[in-house]
Amino acid sequence: MTFSVLLQSIISGMLVGGVYALIGIGLTIIFGVMRVINFAHGDIMMVGMYLTFFLFTLLGIDPFVSVLITMPLMFLFGALMQKVFINRVLSALPQNQILLTIGLGLIMSNSAMLAFTSDYKILTTSYSSSSYSLGGISISQPLLISFLITCAITVGLYWFLMRTDTGQAIRATAQDREAAQLMGINVKWMSILSFGIGSAMAGTAGALIAPTYYIFPQVGSAFTLKAFVITVLGGMGSIIGATLGGIIIGLVESVSAVTISSEWKDVVVFAIFLLVLLIKPSGLMGKSRL
Amino acid sequence: MLTINKLNFSYGDMQVLWNIDLAVHEGEIVTVVGANGSGKSTTLKNISRLVAPQSGNIDFQGENINSLESHQVVERGLVQVPEGRKIFPEMTVLENLRMGSFIKSARPTREANVERVFTMFPRLKERQKQLGGTMSGGEQQMLAIARGLMTNPKLLLLDEPSLGLSPLFVKIIFEIIQEINKQGVTILLVEQNVFQSLKISDRAYVLETGRIVLSGTGSELLSNDHVKKAFLGM
């Protein structure tokens, strides 16, 4: 294996990791504010993928442009889910919350199967397989674009959370729910907003990987697990942790696929995951919150 | 201003408040004293609607607030500084204060209020960029009170503000409470520091195992035999 192959895999790992980070950030915001682990996260992403697929095939909207439609729609989808279902179990036992989110995820994936069959769908754009060449290293065009969009969204979200009153109120709710209530913050509304944002992130990630990934109803479960690993690795509730976690997982997958073999990449990912947790059980960024 | 009528409350099967009657008039400092577990904090939680009363009425400025949510109670000007300060740990002092003026009615006075509480607590001004979670107990208590003031409260509920503080900070906190009251904020104080709090109170109630057993002016209760024996060790 040459050095350029390694460099190549590092770069594509980083690019994929950016999208993973987006999925992880969504999960970590939901967990940070509600203390609920959203086991339907990957399925929400799947809904985003199908949305992107149909916007492209039926209306001819480019997947990357369709983010502008997918993101607000998925926000509403998540906000509605929170308002109708999750808000009812916020003070329930964790196992009940887990059952609810798993159930919602199953309903989503099975509805998708019913509506669209379990056939794999492929979204092929004119640039799906095109790439830029840079000093002997080729950079996939769709991956690069999706990475740039991810960066913009992450920066925008960070700005929203740190610089706006509503963003700060979401952080306050995550840090001390009762104190937030005593400051006149409507924590139920903040929960709806957070689940909306988390879903928008997952849905957007779905849109961004749609041009490079197979689209099928069960695609979510693998990503739920991935999102969970990313957020635990980075430290539950930390946005910087989730970003870091996403990029690390992307890198490890990509580099171990070329250096060992692609069947072994999950083994390496989980080995590193366990190793980090053994050394730092609270995750890379520790207990820090939103 | 605040009238509580026959308030009952239970945690599960355990009733912790029994027919509480309590009133706070505008401009007063009213204290509820009582031992640990007598139901003082639970009373405040009921007023702030962090928990829902089982029966009885809570009226604030002529409006029944039983069916309001906590954030709506705050919007009415009824604000609690909770026990244990409950500072937002990952926010700076300034961010904590700005959260205090989250409600719409407090936004226009935000900058003026920041200046006001900085004059009141110069130490907070010095530490405005420090994370709330890294401050000492006394500083956090100052921040908690200052954050409460940022909401422009009409009635400020203070839950054990002197708990766990050094004698110097206890003295400062009690002075501050009087100063806030002089600026026109009505105070309902819950305290275990019976002597200090009765001294500054217009009126006070004694709570024992969830029932109000005594009430009167601060000086009446200070000279009451039961209070002396039960709380002041005399």
**Tokens describing residue A58:** 């039926």
pLDDT greater than 90 at residue B229? no
Q: Which residues in chain B have their CB less than 8 angstroms from residue A168's CB?
A: 91, 95, 98-99, 102
Q: Which residue of B has its CA nearest to A178?
A: B50
N residues, chain B: 234
* Sequence-separated (6 or more) residues with CB below 8 Å from residue B200: B29, B31, B174, B177, B178, B218
Q: What percent of chain B lies above the pLDDT cut of 90?
A: 93
Q: Which residues in chain A have their CB less than 8 angstroms from residue B99's CB?
A: 168-169, 172, 180, 183, 185
Report in angstroms the alpha-carbon separations of A162 from A30, A38, A167, B1.
17, 24, 6, 38
Q: Which residue of B has its CA nearest to A287?
A: B90
- Phi, psi torsion values for B88, nearest 5 degrees: -75, 110
Interface test with B, best of A171, A182, A189, A287 (most B CBs within 10 A): A182
Q: How far apart are CA A31 and CA A17, in angstroms?
A: 20
Q: What residues 77-136 of chain B have any CB closer than 8 A to a CB of chain A?
A: 79-82, 86-91, 95, 98-100, 102-103, 106-107
Q: What is the pLDDT of residues A217-236, one digit of tens each?
A: 999 999 999 999 999 999 98
What is the residue-level pLDDT of chain A in tens, covering all 290 positions?
688 888 999 999 999 999 999 999 999 999 999 999 999 999 999 999 999 999 999 999 999 999 999 999 999 999 999 999 999 999 899 999 999 999 999 999 999 999 999 999 999 888 878 888 887 788 888 899 999 999 999 999 999 999 999 999 999 999 999 999 999 999 999 999 999 999 999 999 999 999 989 999 999 999 999 999 999 999 988 999 999 999 999 999 999 998 888 888 889 999 999 999 899 888 888 766 67
* Sequence-separated (6 or more) residues with CB below 8 Å from residue A40: A81, A101, A102, A104, A105, A108, A220, A224
Q: How far apart are CA B133 and CA B114, in angstroms?
A: 19
Q: How far apart are CA A283 and CA B184, in angstroms?
A: 48
What is residue A6's three-state secondary structure? helix
Pairwise CB contact (< 8 Å): B50 & A184? no
Compute the count of residue pairs across chains A and B with CB atoms less than 8 Å apart: 75
What is residue A244's three-state secondary structure? helix
Q: Looking at the partner chain, which of B99, B103, B151 has a beta carbon nearest the beta carbon of A172?
A: B99
Pairwise CB contact (< 8 Å): A179 & B79? no
Biggest CA pair distance of chain B: 50
CA A224-A24-A277 angle, to 5 degrees, is 85
What pLDDT sits at residue A129? 81
Residue found under tokens 């201003």 = B1
Q: How far apart are CA A53 and CA B95, in angstroms?
A: 42
**Neighbour tally for B84: CB within 10 Å:** 17
Residue type at A35 in one-letter notation? R
Q: What is the DSSP string of chain B?
A: -EEEEEEEEEETTEEEEEEEEEEE-TT-EEEEEE-TTSSHHHHHHHHTTSS--SEEEEEETTEE-TT--HHHHHHTTEEEE-TT----TTSBHHHHHHHHT-SGGGSTTHHHHHHHHHHH-HHHHHTTTSBGGGS-HHHHHHHHHHHHHTT--SEEEEESTTTT--HHHHHHHHHHHHHHHHTT-EEEEEES-HHHHHHH-SEEEEEETTEEEEEEEHHHHHT-HHHIIIII--
Mean pLDDT computed over B63-87: 96
Could you say which of 1.10.10, 1.20.120, 1.10.3470, 1.10.12 is the CATH number of the domain covering A3-114+138-279?
1.10.3470
Q: What is the pLDDT of residues A167-178, one digit of tens each?
A: 999 999 999 999
Computed over its alpha carbons, how large is the radius of gyration of chain A? 19
Interface test with A, best of B90, B101, B156 (most A CBs within 10 A): B90
**Tokens describing residue A104:** 């919602």
For residues A81 and A97, is the Cβ–Cβ distance under 8 A?
A: no
Q: How far apart are CA A56 and CA A54, in angstroms?
A: 5
Q: Which residues in chain A have their CB less than 8 angstroms from residue B147's CB?
A: 183
Q: Which residues in chain A have their CB less than 8 angstroms from residue B45's CB?
A: none
pLDDT greater than 80 at residue B234? no
Q: Where are the domains of chain A?
A: 3-114+138-279
Residue found under tokens 């000093």 = A135
For residues A105 and A43, is the Cβ–Cβ distance under 8 A?
A: yes
> Strand B78-81 relative to strand A137-140: parallel, antiparallel, unpaired?
unpaired
Distance, in angstroms, between A89 CA and closest chain B CA? 17
What pLDDT sits at residue A237? 87
Q: How far apart are CA A33 and CA A248, in angstroms?
A: 24
Domains of chain B: 1-77+154-234 (3.40.50.300), 86-152 (no CATH)
For residues A63 and A19, is the Cβ–Cβ distance under 8 A?
A: no
Q: Which residue of B has its CA nearest to A172?
A: B88
